[in-house]
Amino acid sequence: MMQAMLPRLIIGNKNYSSWSLRAWLLLREAGIEFEEYRIALDVETTAAEMAEHCPSATVPVLELGGLTVWDSLAIAETVAERWPDAGLWPADADARAFARSICAEMHSGFPNIRGCMPMNCRAMGRKVPLPDELTDEIDRIIAIWSICHKRYSGENGWLFGDFSVADAMYAPVVLRFRTYGINLPDSAMHYPRRLLESPAMQDWLAAAETETEVIEVDEKGK
C-alpha cells in the first residue's frame, strides 16, 4: 500500500515571518505531522523559490497532496476542517463566533503594530516610538486578551481554554511585545505566558536563533 504523503508547509524565516509562525504553530499544536520547507526571505534566490512553490508569492503555503492552500487564515480554516478532532475552533457556538471575529480582526487589522513593530524573535529590549495610533492598537490587543481570559480561557491559559486558531493568529503579537518591551496588565498576561511555555514555541524560537539572514527593514528600534 502506498504511504500517504505528509502535508508540506512552506514558510519563510522563523526570525521574521509572522504569517509563517501562525500556520506552523497551528500544525504543531494540533499534533499534525508535516514536512517543513523554508524559503529564505530577502535574498537572491527568494523570488525564484517563491515562484516555484507559492502561487501568491507569499508564505505560508500548505500543500496537501495535489492541493495548494495559501494565506494563513485559509490554511487555518482548511486544517480545522480536515482535522476536526484537533478541536481548533471552540466547541461552544458563541465562543466560536467570538474567536472567528478576533481572528478576522487580526488578519485584516493592526497596521501600525505590523509596520512599527516588525516581528524579530532574536531581538530583545528594542525601543520604538509609540504614537497614539500604535498605542490604540496595543490597547485593543490588551482588551481582546483580557476579555478572552475573563470569559473563555479558564486555567489553561490559551485564549479559549484549549489551543485554537486564535492562539496561532495572535502568537506573533506576543513576540512583538516581547521584543519591544511592551508592558501588559495582569489581565492580559495569561495568554503570552502560556504561549511562551509551549514546547512548540520554544522550538520555533531556538530555530530563529540559528538563522543567519538579516532583513534590515525588520531590524527596527534601538
Domain-wise residue ranges, the chain: 8-86, 93-207
Q: Is the pLDDT of residue 3 over 60?
A: no
pLDDT of the residue at 190? 96
Average pLDDT, the chain: 95
pLDDT of the residue at 155? 82
Bridge partners of residue 61, in order along the sequence:
10, 70
Residue 130, Ramachandran bin (φ over 0: left; ψ between -120 and 50: alpha; else beta): beta
| pTM check: above 0.75 | yes
Q: What span, in angstroms and rounded, lies between the C-alpha atoms of 58 and 41?
A: 10
Closest CA to 152 of 165, 163, 144, 161: 161
pLDDT level of residue 116 (50, 70, 90 thresholds): very high
pLDDT of the residue at 1? 44
pLDDT of the residue at 55? 85
pLDDT of the residue at 154? 82
pLDDT of the residue at 5? 87
| Same fold for the pair 8-86 and 93-207 | no
Percent residues over pLDDT 90 in the chain: 91
Q: Is the pLDDT of residue 214 over 60?
A: yes
Q: What span, in angstroms and rounded, lies between the C-alpha atoms of 184 and 186?
A: 7
Question: What architecture is domain 8-86?
Answer: 3-Layer(aba) Sandwich (3.40)
- Cell 508535516 belongs to which residue? 34
Question: What is the fold, at CATH topology level, of the domain defined by 93-207?
Answer: Glutathione S-transferase Yfyf (Class Pi); Chain A, domain 2 (1.20.1050)
